[in-house]
């Protein structure tokens, strides 16, 4: 992928999502649609917005292995480039997910979500995970790789360690990306686009710095240009 940016379109409104997709499409590598949009609009609405663009379907499934496998089969017709499940669901769940998508043709790459970028060490401690965030992320990433997943979702702060742990072929998809001067919002572990790529990120997920900008297309283009990424507008 010559443009590593997946733009996160977080809305329930199809018209708004389509307008954003059209505006920023030339300047990003793909679109991310998540639980909020999918629950409101389902497969048909997701297809209407994504069109033929690479789709990151970010549902973060977390259930017993059979249910997660069934859920992935249900959305396989969308042929998303990337799909998410929670790595904390365990090895059996992740193996079931990986095997299911291979059975569906292997075109969709399954990612394990490690520790959400809205969480820090105090949050982990509150739910009984008394270890540094980086240690928990590394543990879950190793389990995801051993279970057959194609990669993980992690914050930019863990990218360098995971790249060293997991090698060059393992996808590291990174939210919590904030250009210099952008508000962090509810993200607690953030980094700039260029710094995340330099650390070893494979793909960047960027939402509000693009979609909430006064001119989303200009914001997307500026970020792409800062990375030296190819854009459709440039051919």
- Residue pLDDT, tens place only, 33-55: 999 999 999 999 999 999 999 99
> Would you say the C-alpha torsion 221, 226, 232, 235 has a positive or negative sign?
positive
Residue 155 lies in a domain: yes
**Full residue range of the structural domain in which residue 70 is found:** 5-227
Q: Express each pLDDT in 70-86 by its tens digit.
A: 999 999 999 999 999 99
The mean per-residue pLDDT over the stretch 115-127 comes to 85
Residue 232 lies in a domain: no
Residue 177 lies in a domain: yes
Residue 22 lies in a domain: yes
Residue 58 lies in a domain: yes
Residue 233 lies in a domain: no
The mean per-residue pLDDT over the stretch 192-213 comes to 93
Q: Express each pLDDT in 146-193 by its tens digit.
A: 999 999 999 888 999 999 999 999 999 999 888 765 555 555 556 889
Residue 207 DSSP class:
-
The pLDDT mean for the chain works out to 91
Q: For residue 180, what is the domain's CATH number?
A: 3.20.20.70
This prediction's pTM: 0.90
Residue 62 has pLDDT above 60, yes or no: yes
Residue 235 lies in a domain: no
> Would you say the C-alpha torsion 26, 78, 118, 3 has a positive or negative sign?
negative
Q: What is the pLDDT of residue 64?
A: 98
Residue 153 lies in a domain: yes
Nearest to 218 by CA among 197, 233, 203: 233
- Catalytic residues, by residue number, are 60
Q: How many domains does the chain have?
A: 1
Q: What is the pLDDT of residue 229?
A: 83
């Amino acid at each position: 992928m010559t443009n590593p940016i997946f733009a996160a379109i977080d809305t329930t409104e199809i018209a708004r999502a389509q307008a954003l997709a059209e505006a920023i499409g030339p300047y990003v590598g793909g679109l991310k649609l998540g639980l909020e949009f999918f629950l409101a609009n389902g497969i048909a609405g997701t297809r209407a917005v994504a069109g033929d663009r690479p789709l990151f379907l970010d549902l973060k499934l977390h259930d017993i292995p059979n249910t997660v496998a069934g859920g992935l089969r249900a959305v396989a017709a969308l042929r998303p480039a990337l799909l998410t499940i929670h790595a904390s669901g365990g090895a059996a769940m992740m193996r079931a997910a990986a095997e299911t998508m291979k059975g569906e043709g292997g075109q969709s790459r399954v990612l394990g979500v490690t520790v959400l970028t809205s969480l820090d060490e105090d949050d982990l401690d509150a739910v009984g995970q008394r270890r540094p965030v980086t240690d928990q992320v590394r543990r879950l990433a190793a389990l995801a790789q051993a279970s057959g997943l194609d990669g993980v979702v992690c914050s930019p702060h863990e990218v360098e360690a995971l790249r060293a742990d997991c090698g060059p072929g393992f996808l590291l998809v990174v939210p919590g990306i904030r250009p210099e001067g952008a508000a962090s919002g509810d993200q607690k572990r953030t980094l700039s686009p260029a710094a995340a790529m330099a650390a070893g990120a494979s793909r960047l997920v960027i939402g509000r710095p693009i979609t909430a900008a006064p001119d989303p297309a200009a914001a997307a283009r500026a970020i792409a240009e800062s990375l030296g990424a190819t854009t459709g507008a440039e051919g």
